[in-house]
Amino acid sequence: MKRHLFGVGVLCIGAAVIFSSCSSNKKSGHSASEKTGWNYNDPKLGGFDVPNYPGQQTGPGLTFVEGGRFTMGQTEDDLPTVERNNHPRTVSVSSFYMDETEVANVHYREYTYWMQRAYGNDYPELVAKALPDSSGWRSAMAYNEPMVQYYFRHAAYNFYPVVCVTWKQANQYCKWRSDRVNEYILIKNGMLKKNPTQTGEDVFVDETYMAGSYDGTPGKNRKRDLDPNGSGKRNINYSDGYLLPDYRLPTEAEWEYAALGLIANNPEPETKRRRGEEVITERNTYPWGAKNSTRYGLRNEYQGEFLGNFKRGAGDNMGVAGGLNDNADIPAPVYSYKPNAFGLYNMAGNVSEWTLDTYRPTSHEDVSDFRPFRGNVYETYKTTEDGSLDDRDSVGRLETRALTPDEMLKKQNSNLFARNADVRNYADGDSASQIQYSYGTNTLINDDAKVIKGASWNDRAYWMSPGTRRFMDANQSSSTVGFRCVMDRLGSPNGDNKETAGNHFGNSKKKK
């Protein structure tokens, strides 16, 4: 099935980790099938290719977030003027990888530069659609024209978080980043040659490459095809273990879990010598700890420093001359302030961030307690009459379509009671009252309302508590909203590529 809206995909600060897979599995005990006895990777016995997979590597710009159970929602006192729209409930989030920082201007300019180079001549409208709307800095009663003109473009703001980007633009960036990272992995491993002149439909897209619709210029280390009826060489696919999963926006649950950083509240976390205790001693008010304070508390040179970039009170965005409180009047550089226990910067303050979720104020009891998410739109690739994939479109991507009601019915299971492929409004409480979600009619909420999390440089400290939430239309942007990407963790949840999932005992067959 096509990646649904959950799966969307430059380089953030940091170098790509490139790894290789080996066709021999004798060391790992997988040289032959345990079920049939047939040798793997043997052209004389069919050539079924099973690489010696070293485990998922950390993609550029990412840090590992070990998943777990937590209380999601608003557990702090609510303000009288703010709607309580995030009722506490216990959920579990799978392990994943998250950007250490917000996506910065320089990262997003790399994207728009590539778009101009690849599509500027033939599809200039695509380049225009990718650009941030810097007019979002404007305010009727404030002088912000320098930000309109310079914030995104000037080198002085290279590593400041990109803002004025819509939810839809952020998703397109994620897709583009996924392609560039995987293309670079293939280039570094000699499976693909560099192609700096790719334009139009002749661009690397990981899904078209794996589908055989795009070959590029093969490198000298192109994968050997072990199929005795094959062509001798072939393109890489996911089963070879080279390519990384897609970058995407975090779900609301993932963002909130990562922001809390509760791994620091485990008094006896797992190490190589001991089993971790299943206990969290206290809940964090802010990402940096349980104490309800926005200042650094230890008695050292940093005592009293603000731990985040926020607005302390009316008219106070930075403190006074000679004593600036957070040392920032607008967003600060992405590596500013103290990271939380997962190594994530600015999960409170600086800019609010887009999440993948469609916003609803209630009906949390109807959302799954495992990987909770509202926003699925189930799609599949378009195919021809003979069942083969349709040709890629003019910009190099495979076209998709929503699953039909009949297709949904065939795929029905006990966890899904919908025949509509678009389940963004599933079980949201509007069926009985027949409320139609449309702007300017009954409510400001519709299927394009997306959850934003975290406080910005222009917000009070209340919004820095990870359980708070707001929403904005997917087509809107703001000088206070940016984003960061995540990537799914495949395989064991503890991030140790030498071990499989599950507990193992002395008489177990531990597979490495």
Q: What is the tens place of the pLDDT at every residue in 392-420?
A: 888 899 999 999 888 888 766 655 556 78
Alpha carbon of 162 to those of 151, 311, 456, 464, 470: distances in Å? 9, 19, 13, 19, 19
114, 171: one domain = yes
Q: Count how many domains the chain has.
A: 2
Ranges of the chain whose pLDDT falls below 70: 1-29, 76-83, 290, 363-366, 411-418, 430-444, 498-499, 507-512
In a domain, 461, yes or no: yes
Q: Answer for the pair 392, 214: CB distance below 8 angstroms, yes or no.
A: yes
Print the domain residue range for 472: 1-15+54-189+244-283+332-377+422-501
- Please report the pLDDT score of residue 93 as a whole number: 97
CA–CA distance, 99 with 248 (Å, rounded to integer) = 10
| One domain for residues 491 and 356 | yes
Q: Is residue 197 part of a domain?
A: no
What pLDDT digit, counting tens, does each position of 37-80 carry?
A: 999 999 999 999 999 898 999 999 999 999 999 999 877 665 66
Question: Does any domain span residue 220?
Answer: no
* Overall size of the chain counted in residues: 512
Give Cβ neighbours of residue 320 (< 8 Å, ≥ 6 apart). Answer: none
Three-class DSSP category at 263: helix
Could you tell me the pTM of the whole model? Answer: 0.90
Neighbours of 125 (CB within 10 A): 9
pLDDT for res 499: 63
Question: How far is CA 502 from each of CA 97, 493, 494, 496, 505, rounded to the nearest angstrom?
Answer: 20, 9, 10, 12, 10
In this structure, the answer to whether residues 81 and 156 fall within a common structural domain is: yes
Neighbours of 167 (CB within 10 A): 24
Burial 53-81 (b: 16+ CB within 10 A, else e): bebbbbbbbbbbbbbbebebbbeeeeeee
pLDDT at 387: 87
Instruction: Tell me, yes or no, whether 239 lies in a domain.
Output: no
Residues 150 and 5 in one domain: yes
Residue 170 has phi, psi (to 5 degrees) of: -60, -40
* Alpha helix ranges (H) inside 9-48: none
Same domain, 32 and 152: no
Contact by Cβ (8 Å): 169, 142: no
383, two tokens: 């195919």
Assign residue 355 the CATH number of its domain: 3.90.1580.10
303 located within any domain: no
11 plus 24 within the same structural domain: no
Region of 216 please: left (phi>0), alpha (psi -120 to 50) or beta: left
> CA-based angle 221:227:229, to the nearest 5?
115
Judgement on whether residues 59 and 171 belong to the same structural domain of the protein: yes
